[in-house]
Amino acid sequence: MSLRQKLLLLFSLTVAAAVAAVSWTVLLRVRQIFEQRDKDETALFVSQFQREFQHRSADVAAAIDRIAGQERVRNMAFELVQSGDTAPFLNEAQTLAQDARLDFLEIIEPDGNIVSSAQWPARFGYQEPAAKEEAAQPFLKREELPDGSSALGLFSVRAIHGSEPAVKLIGGVRMDRTFLADLPVAPGMQMGLYSEAHGEQADSTNSSGFDAKNFVGPEGAVPGGAKYAGLIDSARKRGQQTSGILYLTSRREESVAATAIPLKNSAGNVLAVLTVAISRNALVAEQQQIRTIAYGVAGGGILLAIIFSLWIAARVSRPVEELAHAAEAVASGQWDARVPVRGSDEVSVLAESFNHMTEQLETQRESLVQSERVAAWRELARRLAHELKNPLFPLQLTVENLARARQLPAAEFDEVFNESTHTLSMEIGNLKKIIGRFSDFSKMPKPELERIDARDAVLRVRGLYAAGTEDGPTVDVVTELESAPMPMMADPELLHRALSNLVLNAKDAMPDGGTVTIAARNRENKIEIRVSDTGQGMTPEECERLFTPYYTTKQHGTGLGLAIVQSVVADHAGTISVESGEGQGATFVIALPRADA
C-alpha cells in the first residue's frame, strides 16, 4: 500500500469515524428525545383515559343513586319490606334499567335475594353476593347471563333511600365493544379489552394463557391482537399497569406504544385488561426523516472528507513519492537522479539534502571507481608479475646455462641442450597455461539456460573424474543423489565447469588421497549441490577470503577457480558457501533455484 493510499485511508477513516460518532450521538439523543416524548404522550393519553373511565364509573354510581332516590322506587322498597311479596316487582328492574340506560340492574331484598333482575329476570330468589359490597366506589364484576355466557360490567351498589332494612340496587354498564366505542379517543389511539369468559373464579396468576378471541376493540377483533399477548399476560400476572412498544408487523411504522391496565374486582383479582395503544406511525416517520437527513449529511461529509483527503494526501505524498522514485533510480544505478525542490518545508529540505547526497555519491563513486580500477590494474600487474616471474626465472637460468654449455664438448652440450630445451619447453608451457587462465576469466560467457536435471550434471562430473590418474594419489569420487527429479534452468557447460573446478580443488586439497562426495537434493524451492572432500580443511579466515579473485591457498594456484565458480553460480541466480574446519575437510554448498515441475 502506497503512502498516498495510507494517508487517504487514514484521513478517510478518521473523518468517517468522527462523522459516524457525531451522527450516532445525534441519533441516539434524538431517539431518547422521541422515546421520552412518546412516553409522555402515552402517559397523557392513559391519564386522560383513566379520568374518562373514572367519569364513567361516577356516571354509573350517579345513575344508581338517582334510581335509589326515585319516589316510585322508594314506594316499591316500602311495599316490599312491608308485604314481603316480591312477585309484583319481578319486571321492575327491567323497566328501571331501560329508563336509566343501564345494562345491568338488580333489586336485592334485605336478605340478599334478588327480587328483580334486568339482565337475567329468571334469577329472582337467588342470592347476589355482590350486594354485600359496601364500597362506595363502583367496582368491576363479571356477571353471568342467561345464555350461559358472562359479561364484564362496571357496577355500583346503593341502598334505596329510606328503606329499612335496606333494599339495595346493584346496577351497572357492560364493559364491551360498545363501552369502548363510547369512550373518547385521540387520533391514532386504539383501545382493546381483554377479558376471559370465566375469569372471575380463576385467580389471575393461575389463569390460562392469552386467547386472541377474548381480546376485542370497539370495532371487533383488535388488529394484531396476538402481539399484545405478552403485555396483557404481564399485566394480568403482576396486577400492575404495564407499558411497552409493540411491533404489529415487521415495519417499524406499524408499531404502537401500548399500555395494559389491569381491571380488578374488589377482591383484587384481575378480571380484565384494558389496553390503550397509540400509533407510533407519525413518530417513526419523523425519526425516519431525521435519520435520513443525518445519514445524508454524514454521507456527504464523508464524501467531501475523502475528496479533501485525496487532495491532501496527494499534496503530502507527492514529494515523498518523488524522493522514493529518485532513491529507487539511484539504487538502480541512475546516479544522476534528482528531485524537484518546492517550497521550504521539511520535505523540501529533505529533497535538497537528497539531491546533495546524490551529487556527493556520484562524485565519490567516480573517484572510487578510478581508485578501484587503479588498484585492480596494480593487483593484476602484481599477479601477472608474480605468476610470470616464477617461470621466467628458470627460463633465464636455463638460457644462461645453455650459453655456458656452448663451451662444453658436443656430447655434453647435446645433453645440456636437450635438458635445457625440455625445461624451456615446460616453462613456456607454464606461461601459456597462466595466460590461458587469465584469458578464460576475462572471457566468461553469458549462460544459455535450458531445462536440465541436477542429477545428470552431477553424474557427468563423476564420470569424468571417477577414473582418477595413474601417477597421482588415489581419490574416490562418489555421489549421493535423491531419486526424485531435480529440475533446474541452467547452462550445462558452465555448471559442469563450475562443478569440475570444485572437484579439482577437492582433489588438490587431498594430496594423500581421499574421497570427494558430490551430493544433490531438493530443498524447498532450491536444489542443493554439495561437494565435500576429506582433506585438511580451512581456517575461518581462509574461508572468508576464499572467493576473492586471485586468492589461493595452493602453491601454484591462480586464485581464479573459485572466482569462476562464484561467477557461474551468481549468473544462475544461486548462492555458494563453504563449510569447513581445520582437519575436518571442506564442503562447498551451491543452492540453485528449482525449476517448476
Interface positions with another protein (CB under 8 A): 86-88, 90, 120-126, 146-148
Between 87 and 410, name the residue whose CB sits nearer to another protein: 87
Peptide bond into 165 cis (omega under 30): yes
Nearest-angstrom CA–CA distance, 162 and 411: 186
For residue 253, the minimal CB distance to another protein (Å) is 43
For residue 126, the minimal CB distance to another protein (Å) is 7
Between 21 and 122, name the residue whose CB sits nearer to another protein: 122
Task: Look at strands 514-523 and 475-481 and give their pairing.
Answer: parallel
Nearest-angstrom CA–CA distance, 249 and 547: 84
Between 146 and 472, name the residue whose CB sits nearer to another protein: 146
Between 123 and 318, name the residue whose CB sits nearer to another protein: 123
For residue 83, the minimal CB distance to another protein (Å) is 13
Nearest-angstrom CA–CA distance, 164 and 80: 10
For residue 151, the minimal CB distance to another protein (Å) is 16
Nearest-angstrom CA–CA distance, 315 and 331: 25
Cβ atoms of 23 and 294 closer than 8 Å: yes
For residue 120, the minimal CB distance to another protein (Å) is 7
Residue from 97, 138, 157 nearest 121 by CA? 97
Between 123 and 437, name the residue whose CB sits nearer to another protein: 123
Nearest-angstrom CA–CA distance, 302 and 307: 9
Between 146 and 463, name the residue whose CB sits nearer to another protein: 146
For residue 263, the minimal CB distance to another protein (Å) is 27
Between 87 and 467, name the residue whose CB sits nearer to another protein: 87
For residue 143, the minimal CB distance to another protein (Å) is 15
For residue 122, the minimal CB distance to another protein (Å) is 3
Sheet containing 220-221: give its strands across: 220-221, 215-217, 189-195, 270-279, 255-264, 242-247
Nearest-angstrom CA–CA distance, 140 and 154: 5
H-type alpha helices, 189-260: 229-238
The CA-atom distances, in angstroms, between 59 and each of 62, 63, 96 are: 5, 6, 16
Between 114 and 495, name the residue whose CB sits nearer to another protein: 114
Between 105 and 564, name the residue whose CB sits nearer to another protein: 105
φ, ψ for residue 244 (rounded to 5)? 180, 165
For residue 115, the minimal CB distance to another protein (Å) is 9
H-type alpha helices, 71-161: 71-83, 92-100
Which cell numbers hold the place of 352?
535538497
